[in-house]
Amino acid sequence: MPKAARLGDSCAGHGCFPATPIVAGSGDVSVNGMPAARQGDTVLLHACPCPHMPHGIHGRSISAGSSNVSINGKPASRVGDAIGCGGSVAAGSGDVFIGDTPYKSPTHKCGEKAVKDNTPLLAMAPMPILAAIKWGEPANQFITFDSVVTTVKQRKARYEARKKLVKSTADQPQVKAASERLAFNNDSILRAEAADYVYRVDENLRDPEQYPLPEAPVGLELLDTKTIPGLENAVLMDKETGFGAALFKSEINDATMLTYRGTNNGVTGWKDWSTNGAQGVGKQTMQYDQAMELALEVKRSLGKEIDIVGHSLGGGLAASGVGVTGIKGYSFNSAGLHPETVKRAGGLKIEKISQLIQTQAVDGEVLTMLQSKRTAIVTGLVSGVGGALGGNVGAGIGALISAGLLSKGDMPEAPGNMRALESIDGGSPVTRHLMPAVIAGIEAQKKQDISTLTQYHWGQ
């Protein structure tokens, strides 16, 4: 019975080029700790200087598999199974065997299929995976672990696979930056999803009929604080002040996240922007007082082994929670924190708070630009922000920013170690501020770093 093939196992050429490894595999099925290979999975770029059919460097993939064992709906691949443009899988597991015996792995001579179909390059390999690849862009050559996951088990397996990839390259200086960033973003995406979903949770608490609660991201559990000792009376939503927060548990990395909701223009907009403006100049606000009290209650109940998370206004609220608890925090496109806000509550200095927070911001998003002291840019944005948001909320925002902040000095910056995110879909500074832009930026970095680390790992 043939041995099971896995990501990284070598695939022989057909006599005119050395073997290259399998570079894609199942996101949730592992063999000896490595993703299982399937029919259609990509094999590293292959060169064909064959005198009979010279067709240069091209992609290829596994073109045969088991007739009775499937992985994610694709035939499982084994040693001996054919590779596009000739050759076959040449290495596999020493103790896992798959499929029918005997089995058939039809191969063809170099270029035979291309000649028959009149398509010298594209017919060399099945194209469902390769169709999206833009040749010559290394970051796109490895579409690894990109399939959609629908269960906690699948997503946790993918999370662990990325941790293993990071560990396998962690001590290599050539890819240190990519390894460290992927390690961070592997968890950051879970926090970002919580920072996005808390908006829906808060809306549902305010008006369940108008805002039915959508399904949570895979692996994100909303905790009922009424069942947690010490948090039975905790305030996570206040209709009078506009304050909103939720307590989540990730089934993927087991993190508990106290997550603050940011400015929600269509629901609590005016109350949120009033809070933004007043806190920005050092005035006391109910939302920040509630955020700090909630953080202290959660710390007393659950201890310090939690994460404090927030986006936009929620990032500022999270920073204030960090300031009174000393718990680590994470924020996205965050509002700034005025030193007086936490000082008034007997908390830490801004410098210490910054050491406890990791913050990510999308390039060109409005709030970070307003905090950046770039006066010319800020002046042009003041009127545009209100117009983009519209309604009574939008009408008052320009006045709040210009009269309440710019005339009295610089807007306070978001505390924390800043990690920049690329704007993937472009758009206005306002749309870049929203959580979908944050999530897209994190996913893009993950994809790039997985590509870098995979190429390095299998190139050694």
Q: What is the pLDDT of residues 355-393, one digit of tens each?
A: 999 999 999 998 888 887 544 444 444 444 444 444 444
pLDDT in tens, 172-195: 999 999 999 999 999 999 999 999
Q: Is residue 78 part of a domain?
A: yes
Give yes or no: residues 116 and 202 share one domain: no
Mean pLDDT of the 150-170 span: 93
Same structural domain for residues 141 and 196?
no
Is the domain of 133 the same as that of 251? Answer: no
Domain for residue 107, yes or no?
A: yes
> How does residue 37 score in pLDDT terms, banded at 50, 70 and 90?
confident
Other CB atoms within a 10 A radius of the CB of residue 116 amount to 10
User: What DSSP designation does 229 have?
Assistant: T
**Helices 435-459 & 152-169 angle (0-180, nearest 10):** 50
What pLDDT, on the 0 to 100 scale, is given for residue 408? Answer: 44
pLDDT per position as a tens digit, 384-419: 444 444 444 443 444 444 444 444 456 899 999 999
**Encoding tokens for residue 100?**
């029918």
pTM for the model stands at: 0.68
Kindly state whether residue 218 falls inside one of the protein's structural domains. Answer: yes
- Residue where a domain terminates, one of 147, 171, 192: 147
Amino acid identity of residue 291, one-letter, is: A
Domain end among 147, 171, 206: 147
Give the pLDDT band (50/70/90) at residue 141.
very low
Same domain assignment for residues 118 and 188: no
The answer to whether residues 122 and 199 belong to one domain is no
Mean pLDDT of 419-436: 92
Q: Are 40 and 27 in contact (CB under 8 A)?
A: no
Q: What is the CATH number of the domain that holds 135?
A: 2.60.200.60
35 prior amide bond cis, ω within 30: no
From 147, 164, 191, the end of a domain falls on 147
Give the range of the structural domain holding residue 330, as residue numbers without chain letter: 181-451
User: Could you tell me if residue 161 is inside a domain?
Assistant: no
Rounded to whole angstroms, how far apart are CA atoms 353 and 321?
A: 10
Question: What's the rounded Cα separation, in Å, for the pair 137 and 274?
Answer: 47
